[in-house]
Amino acid sequence: MKVCLVVRVVSRDDETISAYAREVELPFLPTVGMEFKQGLSTWLWETENGELNPTVKRVVYNFDEETVYCLFEITEYLKSSFWTEISSEILNHNHELRQFGF
């Protein structure tokens, strides 16, 4: 199943200040509250201050794209090479974030 993991970095005022995405193939349907980990040697959720442990906040299925979108929200920038940062120039018009109404 095609799944797009979307990470929204939010400010204290709940504004989007950065975002990341990564498309993966999964053998299952992700659900709200689920955690994602990546092995022991690399940190999926690495930040300047350590590792985060976010859970899936929302799940959306886009029929046209046949893709599941999973939203995570965090308050720190990620350092992990797993993620592709969404350019700040298109942050407010980004396709992945629009799946969740942002």
Q: Worst-scoring range by mean pLDDT, 48-52, 53-57, 60-64, 67-71?
A: 48-52
Determine how β-strand 16-25 pairs with β-strand 84-85.
antiparallel
Full-prediction pTM beyond 0.85?
A: yes
And the tokens for 50? Answer: 């350590």
Does the pLDDT of residue 49 top 80, yes or no? Answer: yes
pLDDT(39) > 90:
no
Q: Is the pLDDT of residue 42 over 90?
A: no
Do 3 and 70 meet the contact criterion of CB atoms below 8 Å apart?
Answer: yes
